[in-house]
Structure formats: C-alpha cells, structure tokens
Amino acid sequence: MSSTPPARRRRLGLPRRAFSQVLLMQVAIAAGVAVLATGLFLEPLSKQLDHEAMRRALAIAQTTAQDPQIAAGVQNTPPTRNGPVQKEAERIRHATGAEYIVVMNRQWVRWSHPTPGEIGRRVSTDPSDALAGKDVMEIDKGTLGRSARGKVPLYDTDHRIIGAVSVGIAYDSVRARLLSAIPGLFAYAGGALAVGALAAWLISRRVQRQTRDLAFSDISALLSEREAMLHGIREGVVALDRGGRIRLLNDEARRLLGIGDEAVGRSPDEALGEGRTTDVLAGRVTGTDLLTVCGQRVLVANRMPTDDDGAVATLRDRTELEQLGRELDSTHGLIDALRAQDHEHANRMHTLLGLLELEMYDDAAEFVGEVVGDHRVTSEQVTEKIQDPLLAALLVGKATVAAERGVALWVADRTRLPDRVIDPRSLVTVVGNLVDNALDAVAGTAHARVEVELRSEGRAIVLRVHDTGPGISADQRELVFTEGWSTKKPPAHGKRGLGLSLVRRFAERQGGSATVGEADGGGAQFTVVLPEALTEPEPELVLAPADEESR
C-alpha cells in the first residue's frame, strides 16, 4: 500500500493571504446577493402574473355574463352543442384567447364548453359562491387541467340569478411567461455579479496594499505584539488622530499624565486642561526632547506626525533625574559654602596667627570673640525666627553662599515660622529655588541684597523673597512661571526653566498661589501663599499649683 507523503498533501480551505480571502468572500457575497435578489424578484413576479391571469379570467366572465344572448339562451333553449349559448361562448373564447368559457344554470348543468361532449353535464367544480352572487378568482384544477379561473353569477332581465359563467385561462401560459422572463433576470443578475466581482477585486487590491499582502493571522499577531509592546515599555505613548483627538494611551502614559480611558476620543485640551504638556501633545509647541511638568512629574516629550495626518507622542519620566540634578546643584552650593567658609576661616586664622606672633594677646582674644560672636548671632537669629530645622539650615547655608558672592542675605524682622510644617522638604525646594533665583539676579550689582520673609498666618504660610536686582517687566511676570523660561545658561545636567514652574505647581497643588511683582525700591518680589501648610497647634497643658494639687 502506498500513501501520499505529508509534505505533498494539500489541505482544502481558504487561501492564506488577506487579499485572496477578501476577494473570495466578496465574490461569494455578491453571488449570494444576486441569487437572493433573483429569487426575491421571481416570487412576487409569479404572484403578480397569477393575479393578472385571474383578473383577466374574471373580466372575460363578467363580459360574457352581461351578454343578453347568454342569459336568454339559458332560459329559453336546451343545452346543446349547436345551441345559441355554445356558439356565443365559443365566439367570445376565441376572441379573448381563454382556455374555456362554461355557462351553467343553477343546477350546475353546462350550456357551453370547449369540448362539445361535456355540454349537458354537470360541472366538476363547485360554483356555489358564484350562484350565491359572488365574484370568484382562483387557480384550480378542472377537467381541462390547472387554470386561472374567474366565476361570476348570470342574471336575467329581472336581475335574478339564473346560473353562472366560469372562464379559465391555462396556467401553463402564465408559467410560460414567467419562464420566459427568467433568462433576462439571470442576465441582469450576471451583470450585477460581474460588477460586484470587479468592485470586490478593486477593494481587495486596496486591502492588499494597505495590509502589505499579509495574512489575517499575521495581522492579528502583529496587533497582539503591538499591544504587548505598547503596554510593556516604560515610556509613555500617546497616539492622536487627524482631528487631534487621543485614540490610544498605553499604561505608562496613563500613569505619567494621570488620566484614564475616559481621555480616549477627547482632545488634549479636554483631557489635560491648559498647560505646556497639552501644547506639546497638540503640536502647538514643536521641537525635540521638550521639557514639561505634569503634576509632580518632570517629563521629556517628543511628537512625531504619522502618514494619516495624526501624531504619536512619547513621554519619558525625568523626575528622578531632575531631582538628582537639583541635588547636584545643592551639593555644588554646599561645596561653595564650604569653600567660602574655608576661605574665610583661613583668613581669620592668618589674622589670629599674626596677632599671636606680634604678641598682641589681648587683641587676639578679642578678635576670636568677635568672630565666634558674629557667627553665633547669625545662626541664633535664623533659628529664633525659623523653628523648622531644615529651613533654618537652608537659610544659614544660603547666607554663607551669599556672603561669598558679595550679596547680603537678610531674614526679615517679621519672619516667624513654627516647627509645624506639614511638608518641609517641598517648602525647602520652594525657598531654595526662589533664593537661588534672587542671588543670580543681584549677582554683580552694587549694594546687592536679598531679603527673605517667612511667616505663619493660622495654618497658612506666606513666603516673600525680594531682591535689589533689575526686576521683571510686567509683560513677563506670568511667563517666568512657564516651563523652559530662563535667562540663565543651562547647566551641564539638563535644561533650566523648571524651578519657578515647580514652585507654582506646588503652590497650586496646595490650593495656594505664586506671583511676582515689583519690590519697594526696585527689584523683584516673589510671593507664595500656602493656605494649609501647617498642622494645628497642640493644646497647651495648664498645670495647677502644687498647693492646689495637694488639697
């Protein structure tokens, strides 16, 4: 016994390519529609032809019954093959092309018939309805076969029913008309099928170009791989259609932007509101590696147009990198402060050494007391007014850096901040950004001075930082809080223009505000209001006198 090798076996089924499958399915659909349309057309056509035949038979019967010779013959002559009724009925039959015309009396006896031998006999079908005065249309089978019939009552001159007239039209003639119409119908159906096949081929060719002649299984696999890739990568992906509406979000984009599936089908303005992130996604801001702030996150965005006039935007989380950069800036600031202290300490030590070598011991002791006292006064002044240790340490360090840069950093007399700050780290970021900006603004100017005021009002914190620098013009006072705006040279670790934006975002997230105006005497004054930045003060314990407790 021999068997066909498995490699040579052919499996029947649909072709694998999408083009062939679409073409085959559309041709099959077009053929099915053509056959169905033909059948649906033939069915009412058949009924229409039957109805027309019955109406014609009824009209001939009514015309025959109205002939006065027919009624007079039934009343006055016997039923014979050469009688006047037979002759008149045959004349009408030949003139109209009817298959038969039968005239009968009330006893169902024929006075006329195409077969003379049937005259004088009873009819084979029941004429009761016609004898009862009703017009009858039907398709029935009699002695001459199947026919379309019409039956009407026969009246005398006094309008009394004396019999009935039955007219039949051969059913085969109706069927012949129907069959004669079928070739034309199939011709139209074939033409429609050909047009449908051509349209199917054109559509299939378009599908072939758009799917690059891939199989449906390959397309399904690609879609599955795309979904897995989009939701698996650690980079946010936002796809927009040609109308600028969001049509796809992966999991990382939802996390970074803080939106969900409700954003799909909406524009970035509707989903995110106003802001630089929205402008980047909508294409109103162009460029590569655009820096933007969304909530508490610093993002790097890139937008690329697609062939369908849409766009795909990618988002990378740079928050941790930005924090590292700021920590690096803080480290540089600390190094500068230590360098300034080291320089100042070296100068003081050299002065002290000179006084000792000159044996000016009293002057040396006085000099040491002044140095230690000045340092103690500065630290004590800050810690007395600002009880939060992080903020106090920040301002002491900034004061050292400011002194090295030739800037006087003052803590305003109205400054009073208790040790009840809810988020001291964020507040340190806000104060540090504003002080750094102020030091940069006044660096190199005469009589450079920066003043910091921090005070509590209930649970609110009011922060004011003003400097003696050139100030900020009125038309740029809102622009300074946007991402990317800066007058300073970018640092090595990234871009500038985020500090003031983060300050405003933090303030607004706390329900507060961040504004800038003109300080008294010139320069810029930044004001930050944080309404719920302090915890409630603990109630004070009232201790009774010792003698009352003993009672």
Domain ranges of the chain: 22-177, 233-317, 365-530
Note the pLDDT tens digit of each residue in 150-207. Answer: 999 999 888 899 999 999 887 665 555 556 666 766 676 677 767 767 776 777 677 6
Architecture in CATH of 233-317: 2-Layer Sandwich (3.30)
342 versus 490: the higher-pLDDT residue is 342
Enumerate long-range contacts of 24-28, CB under 8 Å, 24 or more apart.
26/196, 26/197, 26/199, 26/200, 26/203, 26/204, 27/196, 27/197, 27/200
pLDDT at 380 over 80: no
User: Phi and psi at residue 98, in whole multiples of 5°?
Assistant: -70, 155
Q: What is the CATH code for 22-177? A: 3.30.450.20
> Residue 271 has what pLDDT?
87
- State the residue for tokens 């305003």: 412
Residue (of 111, 104, 109, 131) closest to 121 by Cα position:
109
pLDDT at 77 over 60: yes
> Residue 548 has what pLDDT?
46
Same fold, 22-177 and 233-317: yes
- Position 551 confidence tier, pLDDT thresholds 50, 70, 90: very low
CB atoms within 10 A of CB 218: 15
> Residue 455 has what pLDDT?
92
List the structure tokens of 493: 């670790």
> Residue 545 has what pLDDT?
52
pTM over 0.75: no
Q: What is the mean pLDDT of residues 5-25?
A: 54
- Position 6 confidence tier, pLDDT thresholds 50, 70, 90: very low
Report the distance separating Cα 245 and Cα 302, nearest Å. 17
136 versus 177: the higher-pLDDT residue is 136
Residue (of 133, 82, 75) closest to 104 by Cα position:
75
pLDDT at 277 over 60: yes
Instruction: Reply yes or no on domain 365-530 having CATH 3.40.50.1100.
Output: no
> Residue 350 has what pLDDT?
76
Report the distance separating Cα 281 and Cα 273, nearest Å. 12
Note the pLDDT tens digit of each residue in 203-235. Answer: 767 766 666 666 656 666 666 666 666 666 778
List the structure tokens of 400: 């050292």
Q: What is the mean pLDDT of residues 31-40?
A: 66
- Position 4 confidence tier, pLDDT thresholds 50, 70, 90: very low
Note the pLDDT tens digit of each residue in 249-261. Answer: 888 888 888 888 8
Query: DSSP string spanning 334-372?
Result: HHHHHHHHHHHHHHHHHHHHHHHHTT-HHHHHHHHHHHH
Note the pLDDT tens digit of each residue in 497-506. Answer: 457 888 888 7
Cα angle, residue 76 at apex, residues 73 and 80 outer, rounded to 5°: 60
> Residue 194 has what pLDDT?
75
